[in-house]
Amino acid sequence: MIFSKTEYKERLIKVHSGMQKKGIDLIISQDPANMNYLTGYDAWSFYYAQCVLIHVNEDEPICFLRPQDVGGAHIKTFLQDKNIIKYDEKYIHTWPSHPYEYLVEIIKQKKWDKLNIGLEMDSHYFTAFCYEKIKTGLPDAKLKDSKRLINWVRLIKSDREIDLMRTAARITENGMRSAIDHINPGIRQCDAVAEIQKSLISGTSQFGGDYSSIVPMLPTGKGTSASHLTWTEEKFITGEATIIELAGVYKKYHCPMARTVLLGKPDQKKIDTMKVTNEALDAGISEVKPGKTCDEVAQKFWKVLDKYGIKKDSRTGYSIGIGYPPDWGEHTLNIQKGDKTILQPNVTFHMIAVMQFGNWGVESSEAIRVTEKGSELFCNLSRELHIKG
Amino acid sequence: MIFSKTEYKERLIKVHSGMQKKGIDLIISQDPANMNYLTGYDAWSFYYAQCVLIHVNEDEPICFLRPQDVGGAHIKTFLQDKNIIKYDEKYIHTWPSHPYEYLVEIIKQKKWDKLNIGLEMDSHYFTAFCYEKIKTGLPDAKLKDSKRLINWVRLIKSDREIDLMRTAARITENGMRSAIDHINPGIRQCDAVAEIQKSLISGTSQFGGDYSSIVPMLPTGKGTSASHLTWTEEKFITGEATIIELAGVYKKYHCPMARTVLLGKPDQKKIDTMKVTNEALDAGISEVKPGKTCDEVAQKFWKVLDKYGIKKDSRTGYSIGIGYPPDWGEHTLNIQKGDKTILQPNVTFHMIAVMQFGNWGVESSEAIRVTEKGSELFCNLSRELHIKG
């Protein structure tokens, strides 16, 4: 196991405390990152219904899984056998039957069907169908949105978690260096990404890389105005910029990074915009310390953009840690005007400036830890526009 | 664009026809594969709410996206500008606000709010929260489950789609050969997967590989009893088996494959089980032709297992085509007893035998096309236990 049983217990205590404050007796958590955080469970089985049940008075969660994933739970979690419950294979993609029919039975057997039950209403894999099965199956339960209660517990990392993120950062740097090396005129985008992925997955000689919850995104040319485009089999072209957004990952902990490469002659407009972007990032980062709010960091960032007359609507950061596809964000704090979350030591976030202007754009970012007195950057790699002449 | 505008129109006509039969006036489709199928849209933006609206009387779908993804829609889709609608950045991860508040406004403006609306109730990214926003925002609409109507249209591939899958198959073979080459005693699992991913993403000299909707799964040792485990930084061990499940992907079309490698001396039990598994797969495949049902194929498969007294509960296949994380299955037909879906030419499926016995297992599979008179295997690579002495 990656963490001590004590660390898992401490996490559960924090979740229980949050449940008591919110009047929640039982949480049904289907977010794979939350499942991992509370049990250690880690497998690519989130493509169909599964969950963790957390009862406010039980000292161990219950993992609810497909039969062929129970073996994985025995390998990956600290749970007692009795807390790993499997549903029948007959429920796999045979609508209208659904695994949550059996989940409802379990909850009834345990006489938990009249409780206040917290649901992760906007968690990726908690579908409308899962929700209907619970509503219909547990008519006496009081259902409410848990409002990312477990995600909020994940916000402040333990020192062990920070260590894993520091290792992920070394992998990130290797991956980005590989990107900058392999993006060249006449090279197919897929061949550059093949090298980037090789680097990210291989990791370092000491620490192996894990899969990222997002593949390397690589918008190029006019695609730089659209941040979520992935690679194609087309070749890189002299004179065009490419934005690379990727994450090194170690034991599911992510450390993302964005940089921009320009092939060919220096382009003053892009160089200047990159400088302004970095000035804004630095201004925001200089404001990071315990007690400050996300809003205050965002105000500093946007003040620089305002000075240069640059308009940007999207948020400029979000918390990071454990991630599973399709997202490495934790869905808690945003670095955005109006977000009053107070920063605390070992809060970790990705401060990213996506700057888009019609048919072109630049990007850069830093993964950041809030320290006792300020902040620490996880990675060390120049944010300047990487011009390859 | 990957397909002609005519092909997109033909797809839409089939969807419209299905809608008429089911009494659905409007579909809200959030399944990224369905969005791609009907519009060409393709970006890693499915980590938050987006969708395609298909009205039964409109000759073009509407793409509903985040502002920073609109540029991608202009690049990737055939849609007119007016059919690419963006919602405000203020909706990104700022609950209780949500992008679907604006979606509801759009539907009202178009006076579609009293229609029969089909929802993809168990589609991965259609969360309970999305559903509640629609229910609350459109109280006069008659909401119903579209029951994977668009997925069912995707079941029968065009010849152009088959061509893409054949290209994906070449990439699959390269990836699996790379796996068999690089899985060796003393090699870290991550280093073998780094090579596999390099091969899959690079593709062939002519065709670039795309990202797979599932990363290569690589359970090894006692992990072979748990099918969805991914790699670790541990080393491969002599005497242990490793199951590799991966897919070559070309322009989002998947061709999956599973094989098993054994390091060290031949192990008769595993060799024999692999032979039986392959005999069962062959028996099932020999039954594949237009007019036969999935049930009939499954019966032939299980008859072989019964002969050898082997018990297996999980389904032994599912339809394949376009895929996005977290799944390459299409969520329509299953090769399982009782599935009465009738096979037709250009139905494509992955027939996979996951055989688990307590603390060990073997696997193999074929990606299959139903032809006019029988079947065609997409790939050509031995299914025997690959023993590396």
Identify the band that residue A109 occupies on the pLDDT scale cut at 50, 70 and 90. very high
| pLDDT tens-digit readout, B89-134 | 999 999 999 999 999 999 999 999 999 999 999 999 999 999 999 9
Q: Is the pLDDT confidence value at B300 over 90?
A: yes
Q: Is the pLDDT confidence value at A21 over 90?
A: yes
Q: What's the gap in Å between the CA of A122 and the closest CA on chain B?
A: 5
Give the single-character DSSP code of B48: S
Q: Is the pLDDT confidence value at B79 over 90?
A: yes
| pLDDT tens-digit readout, A219-276 | 999 888 887 999 999 999 999 999 999 999 999 999 999 999 999 999 999 999 999 9
Q: Is the pLDDT confidence value at B259 over 90?
A: yes
- According to DSSP H, which parts of chain A are helical? 5-22, 32-39, 67-76, 99-109, 128-137, 149-154, 159-182, 189-202, 268-286, 294-307
Q: What's the gap in Å between the CA of A148 and the closest CA on chain B?
A: 10
Residues 6 or more apart whose CB falls under 8 angstroms from that of B362 comprise: B224, B241, B243, B260, B270, B273, B274, B277, B355, B385
pLDDT score, position B367: 98
pLDDT score, position A1: 82
| Cis-peptide, bond into residue B96, ω within 30° of zero | yes
pLDDT score, position B177: 98
Mean pLDDT over A201-210 rounds to 98
Residues of chain A with C-beta less than 8 angstroms from the C-beta of B92:
314-315, 334
Indicate the residue type of B27. I
Mean pLDDT of chain B: 97
pLDDT score, position A224: 86
Identify the band that residue A26 occupies on the pLDDT scale cut at 50, 70 and 90. very high
Q: What's the gap in Å between the CA of A201 and the closest CA on chain B?
A: 5
pLDDT score, position B325: 98
pLDDT score, position B302: 98
H or E segment to which residue B190 belongs: helix B189-202
Mean pLDDT of chain A: 97
Identify the band that residue B389 occupies on the pLDDT scale cut at 50, 70 and 90. confident
pTM here is: 0.97
- Do the Cβ atoms of A326 and B329 come within 8 Å? no
* Separation CA B111–CA A281 (nearest Å): 44
pLDDT score, position A352: 97
Q: Which of A127, A195, A201 sits opposite B193 (nearest CB)?
A: A201
Interface test with A, best of B120, B138, B189, B202 (most A CBs within 10 A): B202
* Separation CA B70–CA A188 (nearest Å): 25
Please give the structure tokens belonging to residue A10: 């401490």
Q: Is the pLDDT confidence value at B225 over 90?
A: no
ipTM of the complex: 0.97
> Percent of chain A, pLDDT > 90?
96
- Do the Cβ atoms of B44 and A228 come within 8 Å? yes
- Do the Cβ atoms of B92 and A315 come within 8 Å? yes
Q: Is the pLDDT confidence value at B239 over 90?
A: yes
pLDDT score, position B339: 98
| pLDDT tens-digit readout, B262-281 | 999 999 999 999 999 999 99
Q: Which of B188, B208, B226 sits opposite A233 (nearest CB)?
A: B208
Q: Which of A74, A203, A225 sits opposite B233 (nearest CB)?
A: A203
* Separation CA A239–CA A243 (nearest Å): 13
Identify the band that residue B196 occupies on the pLDDT scale cut at 50, 70 and 90. very high
Q: What's the gap in Å between the CA of B121 and the closest CA on chain A?
A: 5
- Do the Cβ atoms of A208 and B232 come within 8 Å? yes
Mean pLDDT over B318-328 rounds to 98
- Do the Cβ atoms of B315 and A89 come within 8 Å? yes
Q: What's the gap in Å between the CA of A100 and the closest CA on chain B?
A: 12
